[in-house]
Amino acid sequence: MINKNFAIAGLALIAAFAGTSALAQDHSRGWEQGYIVQVTEVHTKDGMFNAYINDLSKVWRKFLEAQKADGDVISYGMYSNANQREGEPDLFLTVTFKNWAAFDRGVEYFEKLGTQILGSTDDMREANVDRAELRTIGSTYVLREIKFKD
């Protein structure tokens, strides 16, 4: 009977200490929201990798440089998938945006950029059709950066 009482008291004591340590944990928010990062998976068609990169330099890069100048885009990058498995993309494109407001630009803003960079709406449409011969877009992810507060 005494051993049973000691066992029950011991379990109660362990439960009490476990409960206080859980309550003592820091639940403050030691992080803050950062930039918005868009990642696009690209599957280039056979033999078209270089042609697609050259196309990105002529169009995509210019759009992003204009958006950087306007303060919406922080950075952008291209990453090749060095060890791709079957079905995986061979290229990842990333764009880092300052905040969600960059996505609220109206159609007029992008049409204006397109006209400045490519010349006309018809030229933009034609460039998009031609690009389909170079690649297929896979998934696109939009991620929110989480940063530790210091």
Token pair of 78 as six digits: 């291209």
How many C-alpha atoms does 80 have within 13 Å on its Cβ side?
Answer: 7
Higher pLDDT, residue 108 or 20: 108
Report whether pLDDT(111) > 70.
yes
For CA atoms 48, 49, 51, 57, give the dihedral sign.
Answer: positive
Average pLDDT of the chain is: 87
- Rounded mean pLDDT of 92-117? 92
**Domains, the chain, ordered by start:** 31-148 (3.30.70.100)
Quote the pLDDT of residue 13.
59
**Residue 36 banded pLDDT, cuts 50, 70, 90:** very high
Provide mean pLDDT across the span 133-142: 95
User: What pLDDT is recorded for position 3?
Assistant: 67
